[in-house]
Chain A
Amino acid sequence: MDGLPILSLIVFTPVIGVLVLLFVPGHAHRLIRVIALATALVSFGLSLTLLGFNTDGAEFQFREDLAWISAFGMRYTLGVDGISAPLVLLTTLLSCVAIYYSWGPIQLRVKEYYAAMLLLMVGMLGVFVALDLFLFYVFWEISLFPMYLIIGIWGGPRRVYATVKFVLYTLAGSLLMLVAILAVAIAHASAGNDFTFSYETLRGFGYADSLQALAFVAFFLAFAIKVPMWPFHTWLPDAHVEAPTAGSIILAGVLLKLGGYGFLRYNIPLLPDASVSFAPIIIGLAVVAIIYGAMVAMVQPDMKKLVAYSSVSHMGFVMLGAFVFNEQGLQGAVYQMISHGITTGALFLLVGVIYEQTHDRQIAHMGGLNARVPRFAAVFGLFTFASIGLPGLSGFVGEFLVILGAFRYNGFVAAATMLVVIISAVYMLWMFQRVFFTVPSDWMRRWWPALRDLDRAEWTALAPLIFLVVALGVYPGPVLEMIAAPVDRIIEAVNGAGMTGLGPLW
């Protein structure tokens, strides 16, 4: 490349923004918002250079590598491959959207809010670009605490309960992962190698089966809680319901992807034998998550909670695709992550728009909105269909590929997930119908005169998401091409792998 440390610039631009914010008086709300948005936009602009990712080139591009803590071989290594590059773009884009959308809703402690948002960006971006396990862990933890503050300070009535639950769940998982990271690095070093945390060196090293099994469980807990996978999902609905809208956008759009990304980047290539042996269990859990999430979503009275449970179901598809270990499944998993980030982010934003005006999210309190706010209804409809997986919109590609992959793995698994596609149509369309088409509830009539359609700010925030959800739906080629090579590498890593002790469990 041209020698510019582009990834560092993307990751640390928000830190510069935070430092600038420190010197801005707290009451200058407008200035603070402009600075925060400008910082996020600069980071987004810089991340657009990742579109120049060469799909035929080296595995990791835009690499940076500096010595950090040399006593233990911890290095500052950054780089992106075909999986992380689109996720970095998704992160910067959704952060811009979230920061821009916060303009209206956030009126209290504005400076702290935007500082937390920008720090959150640093952590999330760092996780996607780090190629050193220790560095990855540092970013992983950094991404946790800003969200803790965002939910805890700017959230709903039960925000403290929700945020403490969120942080303790995540922390418990990630601390065990830290032990696993150390164990893996030490096992590698004690075989006579240099002490290193480098991802590229540590993967592909034949760790003993017992270590693989234990380390896999530790990594699995950290990532499964983040995804969140059934039965570790219970923090998610609480966190979503209490989080401010922008917090939900980031939470669903990016934070959950950290877990999925972790599985693809660390669990499988680092511990291929354990991954293969544990795959049936994980596939089982994923199928349960897909079905359970959809069933529970069906009965939710709260729009935000409904979307939250639909996330459990959709992220189940990611897990399923990741662990069937074939090209379709894995490509579908990555595609589903990107698509889910955009769709669910947009859905949370739209729920936020209605919440800002009525201070309510109860589906029973809505009704007939189509007559009053038709453009809002149209956009909501678009994302509803994208979430269901209507062909031509982004959700279809990922789900289709995952189901295809599942078929190659086992027909029954595929059949079960196929059914859920129908259930997802039920809960999404049913909600859409009750909110937009039935007669307005008495409750809603009180707000009727005050309701307004999407304003220019909301259109601006939604425009890139609308564009992407359609573009990724009709023309998935470039992204699939990007993720093809890393997916092949994952398949290669697990090819012929398996723990001799346990053997494949099916």
Chain B
Amino acid sequence: MDYVNDLVTILPELVLVGLLLTIITADLFMPRSAKWMLTPLTVIGLLIAGVACVVVWDTNRAVYSGFYVVDDLSVFLKGATIVTGIFTTLFAPAYLSVRRIPLGEFNLVLVSALIGMCVLASSSDLITLFLGLELMTMPSYVLTGLHKTDRYSNEGALKYFLLGSFASAILLFGISWTFGLTGTTNIGEIATAVGGQMSGGLLVAIGFLTVGATFKIAAVPFHYWTPDAYQGAPTPITGFLSVGPKIGAFALLIRIFAEALAPLRADWLSVFLVLAVLTMTLGNVVALTQVNVKRMLAYSSIAHTGYIMAGLAAFANAGDQRVAQQGIQSVLFYLLGYAVMNIAAFAVVAMLQRDTRRFGGLNSFSGLASRAPGRAAAMGILMLSLTGIPPTVGFFAKLYVLLATVEAGLAWLAIIIVLNAAMAAFYYLRVIVYMYMRDPEDDPAPLERSPAGSIALVLAVVAVIALGIFPGAILGVLEVSAASLF
């Protein structure tokens, strides 16, 4: 019976694999005119996977000889993954169909990336961790290059692939050092084996792990692939890439640094502090000068990575367990909030790119308020949320990180964060300036109208405001999730 029980604990993954097979089969036999049904099919499958997450909530046990752990932290991350999946599935079709990018392939690759993220979230062993990471990033490379006839898409995919595999190799090297020094790949056992004792070998291991992992979250100075990959990828996919793999990569960071290397946190803290400050500052400074909205959002996503890293730093610097948990919770909240608002922001950019020759320049937003008041208002709210203005989820996410950092005794970091947020306000608000305070171009970009996209946009904006006013609704879940680390 254990066998069945084990299967139940990985129900979300099983549902996703089932969905994957269904999509392949359906795509093969569906007539061209019925392909649009792949979207509702995928959404329904993802919703079922979401329900499965609810089912496995509160399982909290390791399965498959300790290679896989289904704790509440992993279930929360899976839930967040599935939310990003649903939004991406709804936003993408309209953009893809004008460019003749096959919907079946897109859904297929997207779902496999989601499976990778789920595996990553649940790994309790460095082997499964690496497996999940590759299962997530491989489809991400494909997604970036999905627009086969577009050379920017090709360029982005190639850069992403080359640098990504390079980073994977470095990470793998770090993993092998860790194994060599501790004699185990199990995360819990590594923590015990390390036991707070720093050594030269461990320093090398941590160095490689840090470089590999921060590559994946696109932290400065390992961020160079980000703007090109993000700009080249089809816009709704960029939205996904900017948050989905980020959730996955932070799951990786939490598992490696906050779990396996937790005893050594005093040692990796300083590196993370430096990287966090560099990442947020450089991301914002460069974003200031961008005139292409996709690139601007790409650099801003680097800046947001910096804020999330500050949450991890708060964990590492915490004096007691409650404060440390606060740090992890702030990371989780930020990831979820950022996922919703950023996917939706990219979706609005995509809606202005119905004309395939447009590349999302700031000009395409000129006078949007008079052409499409609803979407302009949505984009305005999303920009305010990304800036961190109440009452939006972006504000509370930033507040949570600030709270965690100040509580952990890193008030100076909090001050750097808010100064960065003030700087970021300039470029986010510039979008509002274009939308509301300028006249439309003479030859405005035609707007894309898709019911699925509109519904998803409304949902995202409502979620952004509702979570901003009543964040308490998910704080309880967060607390339980983060507690499973301690």
Q: Tell me whether A and B are bound partners.
A: yes
Instruction: Name which residue of chain B comes closest to A71, CB basis.
Output: B475
Which chain A residue has the least Cβ–Cβ distance from B471? A69
Given A167-B429, A175-B422, also A68-B472 (CB < 8 A): yes
Among listed A141-149, A313-321, A412-420, A459-467, interface-contacting one:
A141-149
* CB under 8 Å from chain A, chain B span 407-438: 407, 411, 414-415, 418-419, 421-422, 425-426, 429, 432-433, 436-437
Specify which chain B residues have a CB less than 8 angstroms from the CB of A148 in the assembled complex. 429
- Please tell me if the beta carbons of B429 and A186 are within 8 angstroms of each other in the complex: no
Of the candidates B369, B391, B411, B421, which one forms a contact with A142 in the assembled complex, judged by CB atoms under 8 Å apart?
B391
A172 vs B426: C-alpha distance when bound (angstroms) = 11
Residues in A with CB closer than 8 Å to B437 are 152-153, 159-160, 163
Question: Which of A177-185, A230-238, A391-399 lies at the binding interface?
Answer: A177-185
- In the bound assembly, the distance between CA atoms of A153 and B426 in angstroms comes to 17
Q: Is the CB of A176 within 8 A of B403?
A: no
Q: Which residues on the A side are within 8 Å of B370 (C-beta)?
A: 109
Residues on B with C-beta less than 8 A from A422 are none
Chain A interface bracket (under 10, 10 to 19, 20 to 34, 35 or more): 35 or more
Q: Are B407's CB and A178's CB within 8 A?
A: no
B384 partner residues in chain A, CB cutoff 8 A? 145
A138 with B391: CB separation less than 8 A: yes
CB neighbours of A171 from chain B (8 A):
421-422, 425
Q: Give the residues from 100 to 150 in chain A that come closer than 8 angstroms, CB to CB, to chain B.
A: 109, 112, 137-138, 141-142, 144-145, 148-149
Asked if A164 is an interface residue, CB under 8 A from chain B, the answer is yes
Contact assessment for B369 and A112 in the assembled complex, using a CB-CB cutoff below 8 Å: yes
Residue of A nearest to B388 (CB): A175
- B402 CB to closest chain A CB (Å) equals 6
How many angstroms from the CA of A142 to the CA of B407 in the assembled complex? 26
The count of chain B contact residues (Cβ–Cβ below 8 Å) is: 33
Shortest beta-carbon distance, B262 to chain A, in Å?
A: 23
Contacts of A51 in B (CB 8 A): none
Q: Which residues of A contact B411 (CB under 8 A)?
A: 179, 183, 214
Central interface residue in B373, B429, B476, by most chain A CB within 10 Å: B429
* Chain B residues near A72 (CB-CB < 8 A): 403
Asked whether any CB of chain A lies closer than 8 Å to the CB of B479, the reply is yes
Nearest-neighbour CB distance to chain B for A70, whole angstroms, equals 6
**B406 touches A (CB below 8 Å):** yes
Bound-state Cα–Cα, A26 to B369, Å: 12
The reply to whether B472 and A186 form a contact with Cβ atoms under 8 Å apart is: no
Q: What CA separation (Å) do A503 and B470 show in the bound complex?
A: 43
Tell me whether B429 and A178 are in contact (CB under 8 A). no
How distant is the Cα of A282 from the Cα of B160 in the complex, in angstroms? 55
Complex alpha-carbon distance, A190 and B436, angstroms: 45
From A142, A186, A190, residue with most partner B Cβ within 10 Å: A186
How far is B436's CA from A70's CA once the two chains are assembled, in angstroms? 37
Q: In the complex the two chains form, is B422's CB within 8 Å of A149's CB?
A: no
**Are B418 and A175 in contact (CB-based, < 8 A)?**
yes
Interface residues of A in 150-196 (CB under 8 A from B): 152-153, 159-160, 163-164, 167-168, 171-172, 175-176, 178-179, 182-183, 186, 190
In the complex the two chains form, is A142's CB within 8 Å of B390's CB?
A: yes
Q: In the complex, A145 Cα to B403 Cα: how many Å?
A: 24
User: Considering only CB atoms, which chain A residue lies closest to B418 in the complex?
Assistant: A175
User: Judging by beta carbons under 8 Å apart, are A167 and B425 in contact?
Assistant: yes
Distance, CA A16 to CA B373, complexed state (A) = 20
Neighbouring B residues of A68 by C-beta, 8 Å:
472
Bound-complex Cα distance A168 to B395 (A): 16
Q: Which of B395, B406, B432, B471 contacts A141 (CB 8 A)?
A: B395
Q: Nearest CB to that of A177 among chain B residues? A: B418
Q: Is B389's beta carbon under 8 Å from chain A?
A: yes
Contact with B along A20-59 (1 / 0, CB 8 A): 0000001000000000000000000000000000000000
Q: Does the CB pair A71–B391 fall under 8 Å?
A: no
- In the complex, what residue of chain A is closest to B413 when comparing beta carbons? A179
B483 within 8 A of A: no
Contact digits for B1-16, partner A, Cβ 8 Å, 1 yes 0 no: 0000000000000000
Give the 8 A-B residue pairs with the shortest CB-CB distance, closest first. A175-B418, A138-B390, A172-B422, A71-B475, A69-B472, A152-B437, A182-B406, A179-B414
Jot down 16 A-B pairs with beta carbons below 8 A, ordered by A. Answer: A69-B470, A69-B471, A71-B475, A72-B403, A109-B369, A112-B369, A148-B429, A152-B432, A152-B436, A163-B437, A168-B425, A171-B421, A179-B415, A182-B399, A182-B406, A186-B406
Q: A138-B390, A163-B437, A186-B403 are in contact. List 4 more A-B contacts (CB 8 A).
A: A144-B389, A149-B436, A152-B432, A182-B406
